Amino acid sequence: DADVTQTPRNRITKTGKRIMLECSQTKGHDRMYWYRQDPGLGLRLIYYSFDVKDINKGEISDGYSVSRQAQAKFSLSLESAIPNQTALYFCATSDSVAGEQETQYFGPGTRLLVL
């Protein structure tokens, strides 16, 4: 079984709808991240969380919110989806153990289309 799972894998929604993307991990890591990938732009950080009570904005947080329900779960919400949020979204995790903190492990991605 995959260590980092994302649901759904694909989603089509309409402008103005609220949607939630979910991420779960079995790696036991404290740190979790949400990125979006756009062609020619690489991956950009949306939000990150270093533990259950810690939530931080990344470089492109506008229009998004997150919830860290448990150590293993980190959800990304689009409160009112717009077409330019069409992208591939990745969840990632990393450990807090010294020597391992810098390496991130990625889920398979969620492909979102906003019409």
Partner 1 sequence: AQSVTQLGSHVSVSEGALVLLRCNYSSSVPPYLFWYVQYPNQGLQLLLKYTTGATLVKGINGFEAEFKKSETSFHLTKPSAHMSDAAEYFCAVSEWDYKLSFGAGTTVTVRA
CB under 8 A, 24+ apart: contacts of 60-63: 60/36
Q: What are phi and psi of 84, to 5 degrees?
A: -75, 5
Distance CA(62)–CA(45), nearest Å, equals 11
Binding pattern for the stretch 38-77 against partner 1, x by CB under 8 A and - elsewhere: --xxxxxx--x-x-------x-------------------
Structure tokens at 77: 């919400």
Site string for partner 1, 5-44 (x = CB under 8 A): --------------------------x-x------xxxxx
Query: Given the rule CB under 8 A, which residues bind partner 1?
Result: 4, 31, 33, 40-45, 48, 50, 58, 90, 92, 94, 101-109
